[in-house]
Amino acid sequence: MSAAPAISAVRGLEIKDALANVYNKIAIAKSMSSHQNLKPCLVAVSKFKPVTDIAAAYEANQKDFGENYVNEILEKAPILPADIRWHFIGHLQSNKAKTLAAIPNLYALHTLTSIKLATALNKARSPHSPLNVLLQVNTSGESSKAGLSPLTTLDYESSASSASPPSESEGLVTVARHVLTDCPNLYLMGLMTIGSLDNSLNTDVDNPDFQSLLHTRGILEEVLTREFPPLSSSHRWGNEHGRLVLSMGMSSDFEAAIRAGSGIVRVGTSIFGERQK
Ligand SMILES: *Cc1c(COP(=O)(O)O)cnc(C)c1O
């Protein structure tokens, strides 16, 4: 393995400054939120950016990085420090799950949307190195975005009252149950959403996509608390406070997301600059 190319000093400083600036904004947003026991995690989204950029951020103490493409993370992960926590935030086909989950320091997958994908990921991991997963929710309902439908109180009542829901209906609750019942090598960390750009740019009102994810979390936590209660062996979900973690907020809206109670923000452009498309 050849040594990674040297980081240019100017680029290194640029990334270090940008990171400090984002952390600063997160601290301010957190101080304005009612969620004081949150320790928001910043995932630096490095898709399309060279490994030298990632190494520069790592030297500035950044440990969590996000990637969207299997081929790209497969190239980058082996030549970067092993204590990086990789977050996969892109669309994943089940046939690539095994290769992806084999990356030892893959920390979390934010884009779980099906039973099939959960089963494939579970097979590629062991109980000694479980993979954190977040269910992706399509809060904006845009057809261009992936994700399971958000929950409303009505959905919850109908799923609780029907004795045997049709097996082909893969709602959020069904996929969550599958993870906790049949996937001992996965840990259900929380919920993720992207949301619509229009909603993220309109800062006059509470972002309805963030509100939808919060509402969905409340309902899902009720179901899981009943079916997979704390201290039971199937209690493989949530953080140390018993809450599902929310992954929401990107460069355009991470401060609003933190104020709304986000636990993980995924920020690329504000750290590494515009991406070459
Ligand atoms: C690219 C990407 C991000 C980062 O977006 P920026 O606007 O550059 O901060 C966050 N989340 C997901 C799912 C992405 O694909």
Q: Where do the domains of the chain lie?
A: 9-272
Q: For 214, how many CA atoms within 13 A lie in the half-sphere containing its CB? A: 15
Q: Does the beta carbon of 47 lie inside 6 Å of ligand 1?
A: yes
Q: Does the beta carbon of 68 lie inside 6 Å of ligand 1?
A: yes
Nearest protein Cα to ligand 1, atom 14? 89
Q: How many whole angstroms from 266 Cα to the centroid of ligand 1?
A: 6
Q: Does the beta carbon of 89 lie inside 6 Å of ligand 1?
A: yes
The Cα 42–Cα 44 span in angstroms is: 6
pLDDT at 168: 43
Tens digit of pLDDT per residue, the chain (277 long)?
455 567 789 999 999 999 999 999 999 999 998 877 788 999 999 999 999 999 999 999 999 999 999 999 999 999 999 999 999 999 999 999 999 999 999 999 999 999 999 999 999 999 899 999 999 999 999 999 999 999 987 565 555 544 444 444 689 999 999 999 999 999 999 999 999 998 888 887 899 999 999 999 999 999 999 999 988 888 899 999 999 999 999 999 999 999 999 999 999 999 999 998 7
CATH for 9-272 is 3.20.20.10
pLDDT at 156: 55
Q: Does the beta carbon of 267 lie inside 6 Å of ligand 1?
A: yes
Please name the amino acid found at residue 202. Answer: N
Instruction: Quickly count: other Cβ atoms within 10 Å of residue 130's Cβ.
Output: 15
Please name the amino acid found at residue 168. Answer: E
Q: How many whole angstroms from 268 Cα to the centroid of ligand 1?
A: 6
Q: Among candidates 90, 179, 64, 191, which has minimal Cα distance to 130?
A: 179
Q: Does the beta carbon of 45 lie inside 6 Å of ligand 1?
A: yes
